[in-house]
């Protein structure tokens, strides 16, 4: 059975349809003191696929509870799919005394599963932090499908680390160039500075591609530069549309025409599902 966490219900349903597996209906309750209780009252069978994006501390706890609940209900084989893995950006201690949060979370999740599947974690090396066998899925190619027709497109990564994703989307689109900007983020203030590449953008359609849009600082800086340089249209595409706080407003003010994301996080811009890519791994 596919067992959805509360933050991945649409994706879990799509995955159930894609794989022909039945879809469990967990309940997500909360005690008066705030503690959560995620249960699987009608779980049946030996194999469980728990699908949960961990975009909040509550979601991490819910995931651990669902893993335990399916074991209690008789599952002997548990696969844990984490479409969006929170804390993946704290993959090292950046200052003395900080935790490696990604490792701490990975260890906890590993205790309740036989296998883990991650979708485009911010740093692929976080897969090594899991004690259970872990597969990393690159689902960026699905972002090409919801893009409109593009004129002389440039697929631009807002930093060098996102170049592979930009190339994946360009390849799935079937035409266009790729390039990247240089980015510097002040870790104390979070402010982002972008150093433009020399790529000609005037009168071209530009798709800025990143693994995640979180605060929107990176993407909106990139979009502003492109608009100033005369790009015809600027679109934003990301695997994980976190879009925290005022990110959508920042992007709109910067001049983005459209934001396209997947359903690893369920947002208004989640225009395409990663379910077909995940189904190949199950």
Scan for tokens 């699908």, then name that residue: 51
From candidates 83, 216, 241, 261, binder to ligand R5P by CB under 6 A: 216
Cβ at position 38, least distance to ligand R5P in Å = 28
Nearer to ligand R5P, 162 or 275 (CB): 162
Q: Of 183, 204, 233, 240, which residue is the catalytic one?
A: 183
Nearer to ligand R5P, 27 or 246 (CB): 246
Residue 55 binds to ligand R5P (criterion: CB under 6 A):
no
Binding positions for ligand R5P, 186-205, rule CB under 6 A: 192
Residue 210 binds to ligand R5P (criterion: CB under 6 A):
yes
Q: What is the DSSP letter of 231?
A: B
Which window, 43-51, 95-103, 199-207, 211-219, contacts ligand R5P (CB under 6 A)? 211-219
Residue 141 to residue 170: CA distance in whole angstroms: 8
From candidates 161, 200, 255, 276, binder to ligand R5P by CB under 6 A: 161
Residues contacting residue 16 through CB under 8 Å, at least 6 positions apart = 2, 22, 23
Residue 87 to residue 106: CA distance in whole angstroms: 10
Residue 250 is among the residues annotated as catalytic for this protein: no
Nearer to ligand R5P, 159 or 205 (CB): 159
Binding positions for ligand R5P, 114-133, rule CB under 6 A: none
Which window, 55-63, 136-144, 210-218, 254-262, contacts ligand R5P (CB under 6 A)? 210-218
What is the bridge-based pairing of β-strands 2-4 and 205-212? unpaired
Helix %, strand %, coil % of the chain (to 5): 30, 25, 40
Residue 250 to residue 46: CA distance in whole angstroms: 47
How far from 150 is each of 81, 164, 203, 221, 232, CA to CA, in Å? 33, 20, 11, 22, 10
Catalogue the E-assigned strands of the chain: 2-4, 27-30, 36-39, 47-51, 77-82, 115-119, 134-137, 154-157, 177-180, 182-185, 192-195, 205-212, 233-240, 258-262, 270-272
Cβ at position 153, least distance to ligand R5P in Å = 20
Which window, 7-15, 215-223, 226-234, 267-275, contacts ligand R5P (CB under 6 A)? 215-223
Nearer to ligand R5P, 3 or 223 (CB): 223
Cβ at position 199, least distance to ligand R5P in Å = 18
Nearer to ligand R5P, 114 or 164 (CB): 164
Binding positions for ligand R5P, 70-99, rule CB under 6 A: none
Cβ at position 185, least distance to ligand R5P in Å = 7
- Other beta carbons less than 10 A from residue 106's beta carbon: 26
From candidates 4, 5, 83, 158, binder to ligand R5P by CB under 6 A: 158
Scan for tokens 């976190």, then name that residue: 242
How far from 233 is each of 77, 152, 163, 254, CA to CA, in Å? 48, 11, 20, 12
Give the catalytic positions in this structure. 183
Interaction site with ligand R5P (CB under 6 A): 158-159, 161-162, 192, 210-219
């Amino acid at each position: 059975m596919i067992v959805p966490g509360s933050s991945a219900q649409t994706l879990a349903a799509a995955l159930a349809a894609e794989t022909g597996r039945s879809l469990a209906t967990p309940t997500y309750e909360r005690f008066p003191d705030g503690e959560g209780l995620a249960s699987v009252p009608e779980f049946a069978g030996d194999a469980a696929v728990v699908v949960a994006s961990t975009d909040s501390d509550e979601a991490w706890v819910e995931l651990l509870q669902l893993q335990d609940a399916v074991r209690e209900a008789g599952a002997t084989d548990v696969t844990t799919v984490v479409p969006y893995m929170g804390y993946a950006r704290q993959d090292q201690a950046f200052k003395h005394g900080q935790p490696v949060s990604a490792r701490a979370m990975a260890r906890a999740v590993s205790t309740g599963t036989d296998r883990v599947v991650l979708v485009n974690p911010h740093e692929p090396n976080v897969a090594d932090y899991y004690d259970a066998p872990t597969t990393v899925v690159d689902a960026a190619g699905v972002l090409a499908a919801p893009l409109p027709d593009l004129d002389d497109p440039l697929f631009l990564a807002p930093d060098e680390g996102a170049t592979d994703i930009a190339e994946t989307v360009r390849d799935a689109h079937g035409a266009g160039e790729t390039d990247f900007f240089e980015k510097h983020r002040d870790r104390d203030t979070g402010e982002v500075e972008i150093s433009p590449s020399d790529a000609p953008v005037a009168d071209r359609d530009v798709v800025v591609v990143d693994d995640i849009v979180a605060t929107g600082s990176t993407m909106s800086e990139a979009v502003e530069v492109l608009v100033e340089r005369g790009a015809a249209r600027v679109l934003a595409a990301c695997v994980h549309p976190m879009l925290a706080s005022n990110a959508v407003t920042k992007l709109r003010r910067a001049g983005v025409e459209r934001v396209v994301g997947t359903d690893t996080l369920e947002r208004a811009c989640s225009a395409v599902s990663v379910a077909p890519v995940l189904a190949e791994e199950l």
